[in-house]
Structure formats: C-alpha cells, structure tokens
Amino acid sequence: MNTRRDAPWLALTLLTAIATIGFVDRIVMNVLAVPVKAEFGLSDTQIGLLTGLAFAVLNVTLGIAVARYAERGHRLSLIAVGTLLWSLATAACGLVGSFAQLLLARVGVGVGEAVGLPANQSVIADYFPPERRATAMSVLLLSPPIGAFIGSAGGAWVGQEYGWRSAFFIVMIPGIVLALLAWALIAEPPRGRHDREASAEVPSLGAVVRRLTALASARHLLAGSTLASMVGFGLNSFVAFLLVRKFGFSLAQAGLFAGILASLPGAISVVLGGRLADWFGERRASAYALVPGLCLLIAMPIYVFAITRDAAGPLLGLVFVAALFQYTYLGVTYGVFQNLLHSRMRATGSALLNAVYGLIGQGLGPLLVGWLSDRLAPRFGSGDGLAYAMAITAALYLWAAAHYLLAGRHIGPDLARVRAGEASSDQPARR
C-alpha cells in the first residue's frame, strides 16, 4: 500500500522537523562543550574546531556530490538515509574516549547531514510556487532557532543531570523516527512544476556555479549571507560559555538562556523576515535584499553593546532584541536563491551554498571567536576576553549588510531575466 502523499504542508512540516533535528545534533555540541572541555582539558580554539570546522569539512565535499545525484534521483530516499546516518553518528559522540575520537565522530555527523539535507530545499521549491517560496523557506528555516533551543536547553539539562554522553544518545531517537516518517509519508514532487524554466535536462555543476556568479544579486547575496552565517555560528557557539564563565551560571541555566536567545527571537525574525520580504517584494523586488540588509544594520550595534555588559539581565535582554533582527536574512536568502536557479539546479545550488556556509560560516565562525578569546583572555580575563571576542566578531554584520544593500540594486532585473528564461552562463556578469 502506497502511503506517500503529494501534500505541500505535510512535506514542509516533516522536512522542517528533520532539519530541526539536524540542527539539534549540531548545536548540542555548543553546550556539551562545557563539560567536554573540562574532561579533556581543551582550549577555546579546540572547542571552536569541534563546534565548527570538524563538522564542515566532509559535509561540504560530500554534500555537493550527493546533490548532483539528487538532481536526477529520488530525493526523499536521500533525506531518509541521511537522517538515519547522522543520528547514529551523533550517538557515537557519546562513546568517545578522547578529543581525536570526538572530532572524528563530529565529522561523521557532518557526513550524514551531507547526505540528508541538500535535497530539502529542492523538494520544498517543487511543492510551492515562486510567490510563496520565501514564506515556505522561512518556515523551513525555523529549524535553526527551534533546534537551537532544543539542543541548547535540552542538551544542557540532560548533560547536567545525566552526563554529556547521555545527551548524545537521547538526541539520536527522534532522527530515526523522522527518517522512517519521511520515507513512508512524503511523495516525490514533480520537478519544476511551478517554473517556466523546468526541463528534464540536468545542468552541469559548472552551469550551477556560473548561474550563481553571473548574476550580480546572487554574488552579493552569497557574500552577505556567508558573512552573516559566520558571525551567527561563531556567536552562538560561545553564549553558554560566556554565561558560565562571566556570570557563574550552571550548565542547565546557561543552556536554557542560550537556547531561548537562539530560538524565540530567531523564529520571530525568520518568519517575519520572509513575510515582510514577500509582502514588499510584490511591489518592489529589491525588498528581498533590503529587508535583511537593514535588519543586519540594526542588529550589529545592539549586539556589540549587549554582549559587553557586566550584568546578566541587561546582556540577555539586549541580545534578545538584537536577535529579533539578526536572522531575517535566512529564509529570504534561501527563497531568492531557489527562484534564481533552474528547477534541476536547486539541490546542487543548495549544496554549494551549504558548502560555503559550512566551511566559512560554521567552519570559521566558532574558530574565529575561540582564537580571539584565547588571545584576549590573558589581558582581560576569560570572561571579558570572550565577550570582547564576540563583540569584534559581531561587528562583521556591517560587512554582511553592505552586500545585501548592494544586492538590492540588481535583484529585480536578475529575477526578471531568470523568469523570462534569459539567464545564461555566457552573458557577461554585471557589477
């Protein structure tokens, strides 16, 4: 009996849940790194490596190869298998006996996500028409804030009460359940059914790269979102550490507040960003870049001021306010990229974007904050040194915002070219 349904909102709900669990498996390391650091005697730079680059390396290279298959093959099979693999690799993190073994287990989590996640956005893009994709992608991109809360608050509580190894075992369970549900319930949607440019031909990897680099708006969106992701990953990796070191929070308390800061305002930011961009975008396409760009400009000074406060209450309150603006770029950016890509470029395009976000964003963001913290700590102390490292990193939001504002100059003409089927690799790039 065939139980799979061609139901857009069912697919969006289950794929958002899968992406959420994927983010739980990523973010739980951020809070469990506190007891892990103590057990293995690690530096902040090594913690940055664990929470960032270790996950990203094979995730990036394998993700692109898997995405090429996803342009032709059954995407839901990849999603189900990948979800199962990364869930088992997460459980393996609880079995390690050294830093090197934990590093390898985190690489395994990245490999599983490389198989399971690149096709998510491609499937959603085929379920929803262009005028609803920013909203749909914003719902899908609720997974980071929701996953951040579950991973931070839940992981910290389990780690404090039952040990950090138990937390890794527990987060394996929902991934296995969701992998089975995705396999059984979601139908593979027809490719490109909402797009004029749809065809059976699969463009080459080079054609995907040329599409992303030939369009000026895509270049600036890629640069801006990469910088923003680097800042976001770097800051979120060390919030719990800051609360423990500077304010004496317990692991469970630090995880709870870190989870709230990364989830509730983030969820509001992602959804409202997508809705505002879709609403203003109907009248002026540049809104798809200007809305996130302006929000990043607002977020930066609030965050820098907040993270350097000497009292926990003002710090937490102001970081909450900053987070209302920090994450508007997420759903909007992914939605625009899906609209700029051919229907059989989307899985590869998502994998390429995730490669950049993985290596530079998740890979270098935590490493940058950890490296700065290790160098500032001898002068300012471990607590203030980390706070200043986070403030310096947050200032990069200005650079990200500049690229979004520049993208606003080109996004209308570029979207028009794509919808008319005129975007091609042999057209000269505009600046």
**What would the pLDDT profile of 228-249 be if each residue is shown by its tens digit?**
999 998 998 899 999 999 999 9
The pLDDT assigned to 194 comes to 65
| 423 pLDDT above the threshold of 90 | no
Report the candidate in 358, 366, 425 with the shortest Cα–Cα distance to residue 57.
Answer: 358
The DSSP code sequence of 302-352 is: HHHHHHT-SSHHHHHHHHHHHHHHHTTHHHHHHHHHHHHS-TTTHHHHHHH
Instruction: Give whole-number Cα distances, 47 to 7, 18, 42, 43, in Å.
Output: 42, 26, 7, 6
Query: What whole-number distance in Å separates Cα of residue 73 and Cα of residue 186?
Result: 15
The pLDDT assigned to 302 comes to 97
Largest Cα span, the chain: 67
pTM of the model: 0.74
- The residue among 424 and 155 whose pLDDT is bigger is 155
Query: Burial code of 65-83, b = ≥16 C-beta within 10 A, e = fewer?
Result: ebbbbbbeeebbbbbbbbb
Mean pLDDT over the full length of the chain: 85
HSE-CB for 315 with a 13 A CA cutoff: 19
Residue entry with tokens 């091609």: 424
The pLDDT assigned to 196 comes to 59
Instruction: Give whole-number Cα distances, 428 to 122, 217, 268, in Å.
Output: 27, 14, 39
**What would the pLDDT profile of 55-84 be if each residue is shown by its tens digit?**
676 666 677 777 677 667 788 888 898 899
Cβ(14)–Cβ(178) below 8 Å: yes
Domain architecture of the chain: domains with CATH: 8-191+202-419 (1.20.1250.20)
Query: What whole-number distance in Å separates Cα of residue 291 and Cα of residue 340?
Result: 18
- The residue among 405 and 107 whose pLDDT is bigger is 405
Query: What whole-number distance in Å separates Cα of residue 418 and Cα of residue 430?
Result: 15
Rounded to 5 degrees, what angle do the CA atoms 293, 295, 298 make? 115
The pLDDT assigned to 201 comes to 65
HSE-CB for 123 with a 13 A CA cutoff: 31
The pLDDT assigned to 102 comes to 92
Cβ(114)–Cβ(63) below 8 Å: yes
* Residue range 309-333: mean pLDDT, rounded: 92
* Residue range 3-31: mean pLDDT, rounded: 87
The pLDDT assigned to 428 comes to 40
| 309 pLDDT above the threshold of 70 | yes
